[in-house]
Amino acid sequence: MERLGDVKRDFRSVLDLGAHDGLLAQKIVERHHGLVVAADLSLPMLLNAPSSAVVADEEFLPFAPNSFDLVVSNLSLHWVNDLPGALAQIISALKPEGLFLAALFGGHTLQELRACLLEAELSVTGGVSPRVSPSIDLPTASALLQRAGFALPVTDQETFTLTYPDSFALMRDLRGMGEANANRERSDRFTRRAVLTEADRLYRERYAGTDGRIPASFEILFLHGWRS
């Protein structure tokens, strides 16, 4: 909303793509007068949406071309399997001179947890499986905006660091956020307790602060582009 506030326009038709519980849509409704559509793949998440709600997959948008003045997406597009295809559909749904503004997790997110789980699993089992969903980096995000045909593309990033009493608290938080591992290549077996215990030990040994709490990095990539 801070970044949207820098754009001196009143958007009359807005799509919140990957709206979750509708918090961002609510903020937009309060600021802009017009149609605000909250779209999410999960119907239960949309039950409290403050505006028009549509169950929709980011990779198969059900909207006609030239439908929206603004498309926003907050911490959702990192789950998309075909991001270039999703961006192509987004620019099609925008009206000429429409704006696309998004935030998504970047490749340095949870780098501490990723490293400790990998080393712990290799040490305990002799092999590794994907533990954290893949993410893109800033240059790749910029290239994808250009490839999709957005005019004046701008990308930047911010890193936020949260602290937790231990890695188990962090993993519980990730599950509560709906950000647990959904990688198709992940192991279909329960993770051995020894792996998690070793990962927690490594995390504390390498990263714990003087207060004993461990940091977790969340890199947020911001994407900004116009339809010409």
All structural domains of the chain with their residue ranges:
1-105, 108-133+159-219
CB count within 10 Å of CB 169 equals 15
pLDDT at 45: 87
Q: Looking at residue 109, what DSSP letter applies?
A: T
**Minimum mean pLDDT range among 58-72, 101-115, 128-142:** 128-142
pLDDT digits (tens, 9 = 90+) for 66-89: 999 999 999 999 988 899 999 999
Q: What CA–CA distance (Å, rounded) separates 161 from 1? A: 21
pLDDT digits (tens, 9 = 90+) for 182-194: 665 556 666 788 9
Confidence band of 126 (pLDDT split at 50, 70, 90): confident
Q: What would the DSSP string read from start to end of 27-39? A: HHHHH--SEEEEE
Element (H, E) at 74: strand 68-74
Confidence band of 50 (pLDDT split at 50, 70, 90): confident
Confidence band of 27 (pLDDT split at 50, 70, 90): very high
- Taking 60 as the threshold, does the pLDDT of residue 103 lie above it? yes
**Minimum mean pLDDT range among 23-32, 62-71, 97-106, 140-149:** 23-32
Q: Does domain 1-105 fall into CATH 3.40.50.150?
A: yes
pLDDT at 178: 80
Work out the burial of residue 210: count CB atoms within 10 Å of its CB; fewer than 13 is exposed, 13-18 middle, 19 or more buried: exposed
- Taking 70 as the threshold, does the pLDDT of residue 196 lie above it? yes
Q: What's the average model confidence in pLDDT over 16-29?
A: 92
Average pLDDT, the chain: 90
Considering the chain, what percentage of its residues have pLDDT values greater than 70? 93
Q: What's the average model confidence in pLDDT over 36-46?
A: 92
- Taking 70 as the threshold, does the pLDDT of residue 131 lie above it? no
- Taking 60 as the threshold, does the pLDDT of residue 162 lie above it? yes
Q: What would the DSSP string read from start to end of 186-206? A: S-SSPPPHHHHHHHHHHHHHH
